[in-house]
Structure 1
């Protein structure tokens, strides 16, 4: 079901409701999208099996865990040898401070979001990225000053679709 067109209006309504509140009971979700509970559950299971629904999580405030500093780092590689590129990706996946890592096009190779306790911790992490066998040429960082919007809810235009 990767094709956008395979999601009908009801699927999109289900996705919109679950993005807003992933803890909805099937009964309440069915009421909100005007389906029977069994039909609603079947659709949710189909969306999960197809990988459209990738999971259910709780959004935790980093500052509540003593991680008030968010750093966005643009990583530029010195080489694009596949073995060494994979080593960078393995290293990023293994770092608990990395909450998001994206390979991107443009003037750098990866955009990575780190959450850390303070700038001293970020400095240690940045230094560790240059130590060892990782083919990093440059790291450019931006420190988040204030969160304006987060949550990553995707737009669901349920009215214009079949």
Structure 2
């Protein structure tokens, strides 16, 4: 089921399933079925369909690294000198192969990428940033920001307003 723009059509039950699984991906199928008002078998069928279409792509556990090990969390803002497709591809391949890179996002504006590193220590990060500057496509700027505290961690997306944006009141013409 796809709409005119190619997006998979979801009903309110699908939306409740997604919302519940974002909050607790470890809940049992029976708990999920009870929460969304279905019996277990149809609920599991819907979850499998959401997985098959790629809407649900994986399940994760969030680890409190501070309780496990010492580490340094760094966000690097990277700007490439050249903006050819090949330059972006080369940079992305390099970043994909780097051990301590946990996230890389291409953005618009004066920088090209935000790259997040979680390293054992600052010297490990320094070696990686030097490697980026030495081996990657010509990087015009690499600015590093050490994360001191995460105030709000990404856990889930509130889909209600994204899927069906609120209707704006008509203008008084």
TM-score normalised according to structure 2 size? 0.83
C-alpha distance in 2 between matches for 1:45 and 1:135: 44
Cα deviation code 1:35-87 (max 9, x no counterpart)? 01111011111111111101112212233453521111110001122223211
Indicate the structure (1 or 2) with the bigger Cα radius of gyration.
2
Q: Counterpart of 1:73?
A: 76
Q: Contact (CA 8 Å) 2:76, 2:144: kept in 1 or not?
A: yes
> For 1:128, what is the secondary structure of its paired residue?
helix
Q: Are positions 1:42 and 2:56 aligned together?
A: no
Q: Distance in 2 between matches of 1:67 and 1:50?
A: 39
User: Does the 8 Å contact 2:23/2:155 carry over to 1?
Assistant: no
Q: Secondary structure at the match of 2:135?
A: coil
Bigger RCO (CA 8 Å, 6+ sep): 1
Contact preservation (8 Å) 1:62, 1:68? yes
Residue among 3, 7, 15 paired with 2:7: 3
Aligned to 2:133: 130
Distance change (3 Å), C-alpha of 1:87 and 1:62: farther
Q: Is the 8 A contact 1:88 1:135 kept in 2?
A: no
The residue aligned with 2:110 is 107
Separation of aligned partners in 2, 1:152 and 1:97: 21
CA contact (8 A) 1:67 1:115 kept: no
- After superposing the two structures, state which structure 1 stretch, 75-84 or 29-38, moved more: 75-84
Aligned-pair Cα RMSD in Å? 2.0
Structure 1 gaps of 5+ residues are none
Aligned partner (choices 13, 17, 24) of residue 16 of structure 2: 13
Judge conservation of contact 1:13–1:156 (CA < 8 Å) in 2.
Answer: no
The count of residues paired between Structure 1 and Structure 2 equals 159
Give unmatched runs, 5+ long, in structure 2. 165-173
